[in-house]
Amino acid sequence: MSRNFTYLANPARVIFGEGTLSQTADELERLGVNRALLLSTEFQGEDAQALSKSLGARSAGVFSEAAMHTPVDVTDRAMRRFEESGADGVVSLGGGSTIGLGKAIALRNDAPQLVIPTTYAGSEMTAIIGQTEGGQKTTQSTPRVLPETVIYDVDLTLGLPEAMTVTSGMNAIAHAVEAIYAENANPVLSLMAEAGISALTDALARLSTGDPRDREARSDALYGAWLCATCLGLGGVALHHKLCHVLGGSFDLPHAETHTVVLPHALTYNMPAIPDAVERLKRATGSENPAAALFDIAKNAGVPTSLRELGMPEDGIERAIQLTLENPYYNPRRLEAAPLETLLHNAWEGRRPE
């Protein structure tokens, strides 16, 4: 291996398996957390309440107002609850919205975080936080928001609806796809990314065509999601994530669904500039056209494949391009307005990459 590279692992304690939710109290004690504020969305509020009850005096209550794209005003309310409850740590039970709220609290007060993911989104393994204020989403990376402990419990994913399974899984795959050609890409991350994409694409196919409660397939999907999330935390991002941040923050589009729609088209844009990465993606997806293979996963599952279906106005494309070019992320292919317009029109219409 003649290529120079730097590999830096993020510190985290990961517990993976079935029935691991029962270890929450022990893990809080290990972290030195006496009273944890439990975070969730309204949809998962009952699950958070049940976990709170099981924790007894170690719970400081439940805040179930987590929302997409981590709005600053929601964080303000959560901070007041945190302070009023006498909490000294947080437990985030849910997907990216809830995990993002936990990170936003930690960014302000450095509270220890125990995260229990119930989707495949992957935010739990990263030091990245995105927050929305005034219709614009901004992101930053800081070790302050990296969760200390993550509990992966396969049981919590068994009832994940098919649509959410696929869109959340595609969100995770996007992390690994970009890690292969991101600015901080290296051979170790490329191995993890290829393995994660392979595990997830295979598991999503099995769950879409077979038993959605298949424990082995769910375990493979969660394992793949962990690998993909680790890649996001260490490898960095490129055009795909920039577009998703712009589209989500500016047009209030659903996070996982936006990743699902944009990924095949962002990959198509970059493929001419990343021949080595394309070979890895061909192996991982078992296809000569990885972008089309990813599009087909969504199409075959019946989830949205166009920005139009997500409610984005066509006349918003020009604004999205402007915001993307104003503060661009690293990307292996130069960002230019005309090809970006083609990319976004294809994504808006839901065209299959050829």
Looking at residues 223-229, what average pLDDT do you find?
96
Ramachandran area for residue 320 (φ above 0: left; ψ -120 to 50: alpha; else beta): alpha
**Distance between CA atoms of residues 349 and 261, nearest Å:** 10
Average the pLDDT over 91-103 and give the result: 96
21 pLDDT exceeds 90?
yes
Radius of gyration of the chain (CA): 19
At residue 342, the pLDDT reads: 98
Contact 261, 350 (CB under 8 A): yes
Q: Please write the tens of the pLDDT for every residue from 142-201.
A: 999 999 999 999 999 999 999 999 999 999 999 999 999 999 899 999 999 999 999 999
**What's the pLDDT score for residue 81?**
98
Residue ranges and CATH numbers for the domains of the chain are 13-157 (3.40.50.1970), 162-349 (1.20.1090.10)
What is the C-alpha to C-alpha distance for residues 341 and 230, in angstroms, rounded to an integer?
A: 31
- Please tell me the predicted confidence (pLDDT) of residue 142: 94
pLDDT at 3 over 80: no
- Higher pLDDT residue, 331 or 235? 331
- Position 250 pLDDT exceeds 60: yes
132: Cβ contacts below 8 Å, ≥ 6 apart: 69, 70, 71, 72, 138, 249
Quote the percentage of the chain above a pLDDT of 70: 99
pLDDT at 261 over 80: yes
Give me the pLDDT at residue 6, please. Answer: 81
- The answer to whether residue 2 scores a pLDDT higher than 60 is no
Task: Compute the average pLDDT of residues 112-124.
Answer: 94
Q: Specify the pLDDT at position 10.
A: 83
> Residue 60 burial (CB < 10 Å; 0-12/13-18/19+)?
buried
pLDDT in tens, 298-336: 999 999 999 999 999 999 999 999 999 998 999 999 999
Give the pLDDT score at 198: 98
User: What's the pLDDT at 262?
Assistant: 98
The alpha-helical segments, DSSP class H, found in the chain are: 24-31, 45-55, 72-85, 96-109, 162-181, 187-209, 215-235, 239-251, 255-270, 275-285, 290-301, 317-326, 337-349
Residue with tokens 């809830």: 98
Task: Indicate whether 128 pLDDT > 60.
Answer: yes
How far is it, in rounded angstroms, from Cα 333 to Cα 277? 13
Around 129, how many Cα atoms within 13 Å sit in the side-chain half-sphere? 23
User: Is residue 7 predicted with pLDDT exceeding 90?
Assistant: no
Residue 1 has pLDDT above 80, yes or no: no
Among 100, 278, 252, residue whose Cα is nearest residue 181? 278
Question: Residue 63 has which token pair?
Answer: 């805040």
